């Protein structure tokens, strides 16, 4: 069994230490591992190199606003779980954030990996459409669930699955992070909150943007909406610190 990882700028696996930039763990020192492949296609995705490969748009209708097509062989690397575990342990962190792409597409290999990392706390960043099987689920300390709203370009029947949202809504480990591009997007969040009874204090609104100016501009009108509806505001610290770059 192997893991398919995204690559960093040098072509190696995107495994690195940094501070968590978003959500409830923002500012915490962590190890990151970014996996490749995704079952959704957000038009504003800031990690399109994990899924927007040659042929994807024409064959599967997976567009991206930047129009950049990535070569799969240059942006994916396959490693066995023992190699990945050694790289993670070498970073010296006691918390691991597994991101993507959609990490839970590789659940069997992740289960094997985490068996090799028994003393590390684990966060999974997921789009909320997939399920962790029991042997993996028991190792997850925190789910950062980011359901995709209409402005992502994903149809609701693929991105907002009632069975999965019901399950995450009742899981105390789950935190919800919604990407917001304009004030009207918050109305969609309110509809989802009412339908699935998300706990307001477990909901983050985060401005869409890959540069500090855009993020700060949107936070100015997003913060009052968080105050009005009892949601939390998530910044994107890594963008302010490092820009929109890999391995940060």
**Tens of pLDDT along 202-239?**
999 999 999 999 999 999 999 999 999 999 999 999 99
By the 8 A CB rule, do 91 and 116 touch? no
List pLDDT tens digits, range 131-160: 999 999 999 999 999 999 999 999 999 999
Residue 181 in tokens: 């591009």
pLDDT recorded at residue 57: 61
**Cα–Cα distance list, 236 to 44, 77, 241 (Å):** 15, 27, 9
- Identify the CATH number of the domain defined by range 2-242: 3.20.20.70
The angle, 0 to 180 degrees and rounded to 10, between the axes of the packed helices 162-169 and 184-196 is: 80
pLDDT of residue 56: 64
- Tell me if 129 sits within 8 A of 103, measured CB to CB: no
Question: To 5 degrees, how large is the angle CA 241–CA 247–CA 248?
Answer: 20
Average pLDDT for residues 112-119, to the nearest whole number?
A: 98
Considering Cα of 96, then 98, then 104, then 110, what sign does the dihedral take? negative
- Residue 67's pLDDT band (boundaries 50, 70, 90)? confident
- What pLDDT does 63 receive? 86
């Amino acid at each position: 069994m192997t893991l398919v990882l995204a690559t960093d700028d040098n072509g190696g696996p995107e495994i690195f230490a940094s501070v968590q930039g978003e959500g409830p763990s923002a500012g915490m020192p962590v190890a990151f591992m970014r996996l490749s492949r995704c079952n959704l296609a957000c038009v504003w995705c800031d990690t399109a190199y994990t899924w927007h490969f040659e042929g994807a748009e024409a064959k599967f209708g997976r567009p991206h606003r930047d129009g950049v097509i990535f070569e799969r062989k240059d942006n994916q690397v396959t490693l066995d779980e023992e190699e990945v575990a050694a790289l993670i342990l070498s970073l010296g962190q006691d918390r691991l954030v597994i991101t993507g792409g959609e990490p839970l597409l590789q659940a069997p290999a992740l289960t094997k990996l985490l068996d090799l990392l028994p003393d590390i706390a684990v966060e999974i960043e997921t789009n909320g459409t997939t399920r962790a099987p029991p042997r993996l689920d028991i190792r997850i300390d925190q789910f950062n669930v980011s359901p995709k709203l209409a402005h992502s370009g994903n149809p609701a029947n693929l991105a907002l699955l009632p069975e999965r949202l019901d399950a995450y809504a009742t899981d105390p480990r789950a935190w919800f992070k919604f990407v917001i591009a304009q004030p009207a997007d918050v109305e969609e969040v309110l509809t989802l909150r009412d339908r699935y009874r998300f706990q307001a204090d477990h909901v983050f609104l985060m401005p869409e943007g890959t540069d500090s100016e855009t993020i700060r501009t949107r936070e100015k009108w997003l913060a009052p909406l968080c105050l009005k509806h009892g949601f939390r505001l998530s910044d994107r610290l890594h963008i302010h610190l490092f820009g929109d770059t890999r391995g940060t």
